Amino acid sequence: DCDSVFDDFSSEPLAAASLGQVHTAYYKGEKVAIKVQRAGLKKLFDVDLKNLKKLAELLDKFDPKTDGADRDWVSIYEESERLLYLEIDYLNEAANAERFAKDFNDTPWVKVPNVIREVSTPRVLTMEFVESFKLTNLDEIDRLGLDKQLLAKRTADSFLRQIIETGYFHCDPHPGNLAVNKNGTLVFYDYGMMDELKPNVKSGFRKFCTALFAGGPTISNAALAQNAKMLVDGVEEAGVLARGADRLAVEKLARYFMRAFKDSQLGKKSGNIKQTIGTDLQTLTENNVFRFPSTFTFIFRSFASIDGIGKGLDPDYDIGKLAQPFVEKFTQVQKGYASPFEKNIDIFSKATGLNLKDVNTAVTTPRKIAYVEETLRAMEEGNLKIRVRSLENEKALERMALTQGRTEKLVLAGVLLNVAQFAGGRGFPVLGIA
């Protein structure tokens, strides 16, 4: 009986969703929010997920994957199944909330309601009641005089911290689960669907972000080319790049998109992708060299929610621009400095713009001369290896192999048909075979 545990338990729910509904009450004199699960969810999940698994198996067989991404639909299904069953275990949600609160315990503008364990069960979750409203309620934000640009930045920073720093993230931060209080503090709700990046994905994604944002928007082409190698290393480590993929083509693709990203930060338009890397892109697409871990499905979902909220608050919202200072700060913390002098040099470099074209040329020229000298020495010693690709010839060979395969199958079918006819006593020539 609720009345024996709680005082003033609300008969009408404060909020309702597909998996449960939330009531308010008082416990030991404090106002609390009580999340109650709907009956029969486990049986419903068993039936629905069984059908979804069959659909995932069919998608694995018939997905044409013309975009170059080698998706594993069964793995995506298995990850979704795991998270859905965890979502209806409210004690698991309680543990998720406590871990999320620990990740943001040094961030005063993020609030996670406290869990009250002694009155929580696998189907009932009791938490501290936190007064808040949706970030999409722009009229209330204006009435309270809150800074919408600051709120937009905080939503982006909270997302980036989850994905890049902790690797533990909220999979469903829609406006009902990500709110704000009157002081401008973000309030997260509903910790049933959380996910964590695997160590290799987390490390690879960090490497990817470091390479993408390093050097800022005005980075030189030479430095960007070096960063592109690091970016591809990160993609490979995260399991996104298939083994045996043409790294030269992937690095060329990386350089194009990195420069396009830098140009977008400066408000410039990038070059035509077909003219720049058209043939390489076609080859990579046809070979399905990109594979996305199932966790990425939920990262994209979370990003879409955060991006929608941010753009609703600030028309100029661009998470790519907001991520630049965040990633630079994170990289500095991860890098560490051998001495205060090294830190001051790094700060001085950023302040004085040492990455400008003329200074960069002066700094890198000795290294370029040394590289040319090493190449010439390798040529003299006969140790230089040159890799040449003829994509047109590769395509022609692929077409020839396909035609040959079809011809062989046709001849084999004719032979089998003749054998069958002779066996039936009705022999007559087919395809010239008597």
Residue 358 has pLDDT above 60, yes or no: no
Write the pLDDT tens digit of every residue in 68-78: 566 678 888 88
Query: pLDDT tens digit string along 48-91?
Result: 888 888 888 888 887 766 655 666 788 888 888 888 888 889 99
Query: In this structure, which amino acid lies at residue 401?
Result: A
Q: What is the pTM (predicted TM-score) of this model?
A: 0.71
Rounded mean pLDDT of the chain? 82
Helix (H) or strand (E) holding 329: helix 319-335
Torsion (CA) 226, 231, 232, 238 in degrees, nearest 10: 150
Name which of 184, 175, 109 is nearest 142 in CA terms.
Answer: 184
> How do strand 178-180 and strand 186-188 relate by DSSP bridges?
antiparallel
Per residue in 191-206, pLDDT (tens digit) is 998 999 999 999 998 9
pLDDT at site 181: 96
Q: What mean pLDDT comes out for the span 406-413? A: 74
pLDDT at 355 over 50: no
Q: How buried is residue 39: exposed, middle or buried, by Cβ count under 10 Å (0-12/13-18/19+)?
A: exposed
Task: Show which residues are catalytic.
Answer: 172
Does the structure show a pLDDT above 90 at 109? yes
At 240-249, the pLDDT tens digits run: 887 777 888 8
User: Would you state the torsion angle of the CA atoms of residues 241, 383, 227, 215, taken in this order, to the nearest 10 degrees?
Assistant: 180
Query: Residue 82: helix, strand or coil by DSSP?
Result: helix
pLDDT of residue 433: 46
Report pLDDT for 434.
46
Segment 309-322, tens digit of pLDDT: 999 999 999 988 88
